[in-house]
Every structure is written in structure tokens, then in C-alpha cells.
Amino acid sequence: MTANATSDILKRTFQKFAMRAPLDEEDREAFFALPFEVRAIDPHRYIVREGDRPSGATLIINGLAFRHKVTVEGARQILSVHIPGDFIDLEGTLLEVADHNVQALTACQVAIVPRPAMLKLIDTHARLGRAMWIDTLIDASIYREWIVNVGRRDARSGTCHLLCEFARRLEAVGLGEVDGYELPMTQEQPADALGITPVHVNRILKDLDREGLIVRNKRFVRVPNWEALRKVGGFNEMYLHLDKFARPPIAAGASGAPLSR
Amino acid sequence: MPQYYMHLFNDEILRDQSGASFPDEQAAREGAIRAISELIAEHIVAGQPVDLSNRIEVEDDRGDVVETIKFGELFRGTASA
């Protein structure tokens, strides 16, 4: 099961990279020859702590993880949320010291590629290096959008924007559809992502629910009217650069299917 | 860290099902005050009246209400001349 999930995610990740740079057979062989260790991580456990020197690059096989920083007053700012197929430590590979924390949101399985192997791959396979560079550029593009969320969008628009982003990103890796997906978060995480209080998030979600923009059922979010939600959030998915994102076929056992659009 | 639940009593009752973690009761109270100030600010910006009798009740993980904060409590102002 784990072996299947791992090889499935590695295949998807390679396909994603192949969308971003012209990769050949040698790149493929080198990528699949990467050594890795699979590790199970309990919900809320730290994957990387600020100040750590990560020993490898971490690829999420399943589950969700998030990056965050904590102020001296103890307030947490969530910087990004990561989904299966995301490499969360490409930075760590080159920057050596982690400048932020990475924590599991749900139970996660990750594959850790040792840093020397990752560095060697980048040094010997320029096109794979380029694909990974694009990966971190897209991360940065998402950070830019989140700065707008935190700094300039009001709480309601920011919340809608976040819901739209998760919908499109999860759909792109075949883990949901824009009209409905699982969001294993309490109001605390969106609050820390948007820089507002959980009570406020709760209030906004209730309003969105009442207005028919979303339908919540435990941890599932259904979006009956994508256009309306997109409009309130001011969501324009260009920043996700999904045209540089593979939409690989769904392996048996994976939940959900990509929405044809 | 202990969980605190913040129930909002305004035009309707919005019960907090999942709670949030705070180091202690004082920090939870400060969290509730921040929440109220956000809600008040939103009303002011939207030009809506603020009902000063609205409140947040903070419940600890034993189910005891440890703080009740009315919106009106937070208004302290001066107006010179």
C-alpha cells in the first residue's frame, strides 16, 4: 500500500516536473534512481523546525502539512499549506538552515531524499534542476498571493480565496474537485493563514454557508456555485501556473477524479 | 496547550465546535478580545450598527464558562472639548 502510494506520487511528481521542463529518458532514470526513506508522521508533529539543518528534501506522499512562523508573542502565521506531490524542502536542500517550521496538519507519509543525492541530481541534470526551480517559483507566487490575502483582502474575501485555492490545487493532483473536497482543518488553521481570529473565520464560514456559497459537512466543503465563490474571493488562478502542472491519470485506489472543464 | 471554545452570541448563537489552543485563560481572554475587535471593526467599516450587548463566552475543556466578554465592555474612549 505504502509502496504503491509512494511510487504513484513519485510518478506524478516526475510527470509534474516533465510539464515544467523538457525531460528525457536519462532525467527519468536519474529521478527514479533517487534514494529515499519513507516516514510516517503523526498529525501536528514537526517535520522541520526553524533552525534545523534538514538532512533531506521531503516529498509528501499523503496527508497535508503547513509551513509556519511564530512571533515572540506566540502568534502563529501559517505561510503555506502543502498537499501530496509537493516537495516541501527544496529550499532546505540549498539554503541548509530552515528559516521556518513545517508541521504535519494531518497524519502524513513522506519520502525523504537525502540532501547529497538531491544536490547531485541538480548538479548533473540541469533540466530537472530547472523543473525544481520552477516548483519553488510557483511556491513563491502562492506566497505573493497570500501576502495580498493577509494584507489587503478583507477577511471574507481572503477566506473565499483560500477555499478556491485549495479546491483548484487539490483538483490538480486528483484529490478533489472544484465543486467539493475534503478540508481537514478546524477554523484555527485558516485563521492563522489569514491573520484573523478563529471566531471570525467561524462567523464567515457560517455566513458563506447561509448564503449558499459553500455547504459544509464535517470536513467536506461543497462549492455549489464556483463562479460566485470565485468572485467574492477575487480568485484568479493564473498565479497557480496550473498549465505548468501535470494532471496525471488517477491510480487505482486514489480518491476523487479530476473535473473535466 | 489547553483548548478553549469561544461561543459567539450576536444576532444568532455561533457555537465553537473545535476550539483553539491557548497557553492559559488570560491568553484565551485576549484571543476573545481580538475576535470581538475584528467583528466590531468589520461592522464599523460596513456602516452597520454594533450591538454592544453581544458577547463571547469562553469555555474551557471541562465545559466551564471561564470568561464572558460583552462587546460594550471593550469601548473606552475620551472626547476632549
With beta carbons under 8 A apart, name residues in chain B contacting A198: 6, 16, 20, 31, 35
Q: Is the separation of the CB atoms in B55 and B70 below 8 Å?
A: yes
| Spatial contact of A204 and A156, defined as CB atoms under 8 Å apart | yes
Residue in this structure with the C-alpha cell 504503491, named with its chain if needed: A4
Taking contacts as CB-CB distances below 8 angstroms, the residues of chain B near A74 are 23, 27
Residue B20 has its nearest CB partner, among A154, A188, A203, at A188
Q: Which residue has the cell 464560514?
A: A205
User: How close B77 gets to chain A, by Cα (Å)?
Assistant: 24
Average pLDDT over chain B, rounded to an integer: 93
Q: Which long-range contacts (CB under 8 A, 24 or more apart) does B8-11 make?
A: B8/A199, B8/A202, B8/A203, B8/B35, B8/B39, B8/B54, B8/B56, B9/B54, B9/B55, B9/B56, B9/B57, B10/B39, B10/B51, B10/B54, B11/B51
Q: At what angle do helices A2-20 and A126-151 cross, to 10 degrees?
A: 90
Strands of the sheet with A101-104, listed across from one edge: A46-48, A101-104, A65-70, A76-82
Residue with cell string 483548548: B3
pLDDT for res A245: 53
ipTM value: 0.93
Q: Which pLDDT belongs to residue A214?
A: 96
- State whether B20 and A187 contact (CB < 8 Å): yes
Q: What is the pLDDT of residue A236?
A: 95
Q: Which has more pLDDT, B55 or A259?
A: B55
Name the residue type at position A256: G
Pairs across A and B, CB distance < 8 A:
46
Nearest to A155 among B19, B31, B42 (CB): B42
pTM: 0.89
Q: What are phi and psi of B15, to 5 degrees?
A: -85, 140
Q: Do A186 and B39 touch (CB under 8 A)?
A: no
Report chain B residues whose CB lies below 8 A from the CB of A191: 20
Q: What pLDDT score was predicted for residue A248?
A: 42
What is the nearest CA distance from A148 to chain B, expressed in angstroms?
Answer: 18
List C-alpha distances in Å: B62 to B2, B14, B16, B19, B65.
10, 19, 14, 12, 9
CB contact under 8 A, A199 and B56: yes
Q: What is the pLDDT, as a whole number, of residue A94? A: 85
Give B2's pLDDT tier (boundaries 50, 70, 90): very high
Which residues in chain A land under pLDDT 50? 1, 246-261
- Determine the Cα–Cα distance for residues A164 and A236; give it in Å rounded to an integer: 9
Distance between CA A88 and CA A49 in Å, rounded?
A: 13
pLDDT at A109: 95
Q: Strands B13-14, B3-9: parallel, antiparallel or unpaired by DSSP?
A: antiparallel
Task: Give per-residue pLDDT as tens, B61-78.
Answer: 999 999 999 999 998 889
Q: What is the pLDDT of residue B57?
A: 97
Rounded mean pLDDT of B3-16?
Answer: 93
Least Cα separation, residue B12 to chain A (angstroms): 10
Are B42 and A199 inside 8 Å of each other by CB? no
The pLDDT of residue A174: 86
State pLDDT tens for residues A150-189. Answer: 999 999 999 999 999 999 999 988 888 888 899 999 899 9
Mean pLDDT of B19-39: 94
**Spatial contact of A226 and A160, defined as CB atoms under 8 Å apart:** no
Query: What confidence category does residue B1 fall into, taking pLDDT thresholds of 50, 70 and 90?
Result: confident
pLDDT of residue A121: 96
